[in-house]
Amino acid sequence: MTNFLAVTWGWNEMVWCTVISIALVFIVLVLLVFVMKLFGVIFAQKPERKLAKVAEKPISDEQLHEEQIAAIAAALKLYKSALHDRESEVLTIQSLKRAYSPWNSKIHGLTQLPDRK
């Protein structure tokens, strides 16, 4: 591997290093732009093709139109949002049984008031 520091660094070397580095940063990232564009072409176009295929099929009279589907969806949404949740009315609080220990004893956790008799 080239030892760049073996070269005495002066202004020439500094300027070249800067220019080359900026150029390389751009080259690497431009390369990544193309790679990601390629990604887009491969992966993002597939759903469009599917859609195109679907669109090519003629709509028969029995099939629903987009407006009808939207109207049904809106009606269902309104209907469901008007419904209240029905509770099962079953208590689901889990009962815990712990062995007695003075560390978790409730009586020891309470402030003991002085007995004024």
Partner 1 sequence: MLNLLQSNFALESLEKFVSSMGFAAFFSEMGWGNLVMILIAFFLLYLAIKKEYEPMLMMTIAFGMLLTNLPGAGLFHEELFAGGHVHWDAFTSHEGIAPGLLDYLYLGVKLGIYPCLIFVGVGAMTDFGPLIANPKSFLLGAAAQIGIFATFIAAYAMGFTPEQAGSIGIIGGADGPTAIFLTAKLAPELLGPIAVAAYSYMALVPVIQPPIMRALTTKKERQIKMSTLRQVSKKERILFPIVIAAIISLLLPDAAPLVGCLMLGNLMKESGVVDRLSKTVQNELMNIVVIFLGLTVGATATANTFLSPATIKIMLMGIVAFGVASACGVLFAKLMNCFLKEGNKINPLIGSAGVSAVPMAARVSQKVGQEENPSNFLLMHAMGPNVAGVVGSAVAAGLLLSFLG
Q: Given the rule CB under 8 A, which residues bind partner 1? A: 4-5, 9, 13-15, 17-18, 21-22, 24-26, 28-37, 39-40, 43-44
CB of 49 to partner 1, least distance (A): 14
Least distance (Å) from partner 1 to the CB of residue 12? 12
Residues 13/7, Cβ–Cβ less than 8 Å: yes
Taking CA atoms, 56 is separated from 50, 52, 59, 60, 69, in Å, by: 10, 6, 9, 12, 19
- In whole angstroms, the minimum distance from the beta carbon of 15 to partner 1 comes to 7
- The secondary structure of residue 110, as a DSSP letter, is S
Pick 13 or 108: Cβ nearer partner 1: 13
